[in-house]
Amino acid sequence: MKAFLTRVTYKTDMVKQTLADAGISFSMYEKDQVCPRNLLLQQAAVADAILTHTEDNIDAEFFAAASPRLKIIANMGIGFSNIDLEAATAKGIIVTNTPVEQAFDATAEATVALLVSVARRIPTLHHQRISSGQELNPSFLNPTSVAIRNKTCGIVGLGRIGARVAKMMHKGFDNQILYYDAINNSQADQEWGAQRVELDELLQRSDFICVNIPLMAATKNLVSAEKIALVKGNAVFINAARDGIVDEAALVKRLNNGELHGAGLDVYTDEVNNICYDNIALTAHLANFEDEAYTAMSQTVANNVVAVLNQQTALTPVNQVA
């Protein structure tokens, strides 16, 4: 049995060992780059398992090139929009993803880390100290931070990640939790005293706003310019979900006017180039990019391949084949 990995990945040796222990031979595209198309199509014809990344385009052309021996596409990541699921299912090929708990934990921690660093103005102070080359001399007229404790935290999308953010903010900082979601979360209501409210109310009442809702037709521009105008002065605004949910131009305008305490964005468009307000923390869509999460994801990819090639049920399938 042969497995092909499309790109060197985190803990490749661990993946290789897991497969070797199960008698599966392993090859890969050795570079830390997207696998060339011709190599991908060539491997579709000879491999029993292909271990993919979300930037690999596993489309109809790929499945046309696949031989009957190909049994599994094991995708590294929670998403799998890079894969033509219908074509895979029609060919009897299992597709798996890696929805590991550690990845949700990591993204929630990254959300809270952005919130804390912006509330405490850490990126700004760091940048000022480094760029001035001298001891900072802040004015006593303008405290640099706002308190995190005993505030109201509004979470837009109380799913796997949002609920973790709620728990951390409630248990760690005694925050009152408001949330906007299509579904009531009775566990959050009971355990953390969370309150489900309409989006307008959440934006008007929250000191901290965390966007953790998926991007889809119904949530595109959900936090529109009109909604951004409702955010109360001195609030901290965090988006660790996707760009496209928040009207960034409106957010940038309020930041530049000094109307918010700051913003932390893991996802954004080039609109951020227009920010001249200094209390902003930008990361680079790296919220779940941590040792523990990536180790668990790599292990899940390998375990799925071993299971399917041994005619067992995949751990985390996203389609069903006969």
Ligand X SMILES: NC(=O)c1ccc[n+]([C@@H]2O[C@H](COP(=O)([O-])OP(=O)(O)OC[C@H]3O[C@@H](n4cnc5c(N)ncnc54)[C@H](O)[C@@H]3O)[C@@H](O)[C@H]2O)c1
Q: Active-site residues: which are they?
A: 242, 271, 285
CA distance 214 to 218: 9
Minimum distance from residue 165 beta carbon to ligand X (Å)? 9
Report the residue number whose CB is nearest to ligand X.
159
123, 130 contact by CB (below 8 A): no
Minimum distance from residue 61 beta carbon to ligand X (Å)? 27
Of residues 163 and 255, the one with the C-beta less far from ligand X: 163
Of residues 102 and 219, the one with the C-beta less far from ligand X: 219
Task: Identify the helix (H) or strand (E) that includes residue 300.
Answer: helix 291-309
CA distance 304 to 289: 21
CA distance 40 to 34: 10
For ligand X, the binding residues (CB under 6 A) are: 78, 104, 107, 157-162, 181-183, 212-215, 218-219, 240-242, 266-267, 285, 287-288
DSSP assignment string, 11-49: THHHHHHHHHHTT-EEEE--SSSPPPHHHHHHHHTT-SE
Of residues 3 and 246, the one with the C-beta less far from ligand X: 246
Of residues 215 and 321, the one with the C-beta less far from ligand X: 215
CA distance 278 to 276: 6
Residue 45 tokens, joined = 């014809």
